[in-house]
Every structure is written in structure tokens, then in C-alpha cells.
Structure 1
């Protein structure tokens, strides 16, 4: 595959969402991707521009980690 096709296929669609911690299930899997707490916080949900900025930062961080090759299992397609 060419560089253009690889770049297109490795795009990640990110989202920012509020979760209730009581509904999360603990697992042995974790990923240490540092997100800036000043950009991704609960005030983001009040302003659409801030939410877009937070989503963009998350996308950039995840794509950087994917390109480095660490945590390959995290970026594989789920097969149900």
C-alpha cells in the first residue's frame, strides 16, 4: 500500500463522553496515554468549540500512539 492509503486507513474517529464510574468494569487492560486535563474536563460539554478541541486532542494522541506501534491490541478491530 502507498503512504496515502496507509494514512487514510489509520485515521481514528475519537469522541469525548461522560461516564458514570459505577458502570465501568475493571479489567487488566490499560493504556497510558496522557491527556491534558485543562483541555479534557467537564467544562468541555458546555461549549461546542471546546468539545471539538478536546476531541481533536484525543484524536492526535491516539494516532501518535498508533503510529509508534505500542499497544497494538488497543488499535485492532473488534471482531464480534
Structure 2
């Protein structure tokens, strides 16, 4: 199954627990939240905290993240990241 649903959220870094892992968009306050940490560089002009002001920009940011995740999935790197959680 290679269908990926992405989301974009803004987190305050002061409120993140040390056990929380994340995919950083190399921006100060925009983080894509996930179970494990994966280093996938995202375009700062597309994925940033200003995308929440316009729904079209938010859709574009989600699409950008989805494309990057699918690209990583198809290359076969980090297969554990895309496996179903066991709990």
C-alpha cells in the first residue's frame, strides 16, 4: 500500500516532548508531525507558517509533502517509517 495522506501543522517547539519525533520543514515553526523522524528536505517557500492564511497555499504545501514522501517510499529508504504501527 503506497497511498500517503499528509498534513501540515504549526507547533510551538517549547511544547514538544523529547520523545516526539518529527519531519522538519527547515522552518522555525512549521513542522509535519509523524511517529518517527525522517530527514526529507521541503521547500521553505511552499511549506511555512504562512500557508495557513490561504487554503490554496495549504493544499499546495500538503501536496509538496505528499510528493516528497511518495518519492522516498518508492526509493525504498526508511521502509520502517511507512509500516503500520504495532500497538
**TM-score of Structure 1 vs Structure 2, range by shorter chain:** 0.7 to 0.9
Q: Is the CA contact 2:36–2:81 (under 8 Å) kept in the aligned structure 1? A: no
1:47 and 1:17 mapped to 2: Cα distance?
14
* CA deviation string 1:23-72 (max 9, x = no partner): 2233x963110100000011100000000000000000001001111011
Aligned residues: 71
Between structures 1 and 2, the one with greater strand share: 2
1:53 and 1:29 mapped to 2: Cα distance?
23
Displacement of 1:79: 1.6
1:58 to 1:29, Cα distance in 2 relative to 1, 3 A: closer
Between structures 1 and 2, the one with greater helix share: 1
1:56 partnered with 2:63: yes
TM-score between both structures, scaled by the size of structure 2: 0.74
Query: Could you say which structure has the greater relative contact order, defined with CA pairs below 8 angstroms and 6 or more residues apart?
Result: 1
Q: What's the RMSD between the two structures over aligned residues?
A: 1.8
Kindly name which structure, 1 or 2, has the bigger radius of gyration based on alpha carbons: 1
Q: Indicate the residue corresponding to 1:21 in structure 2.
A: 13
Divergent runs of 4+, >6 A:
none
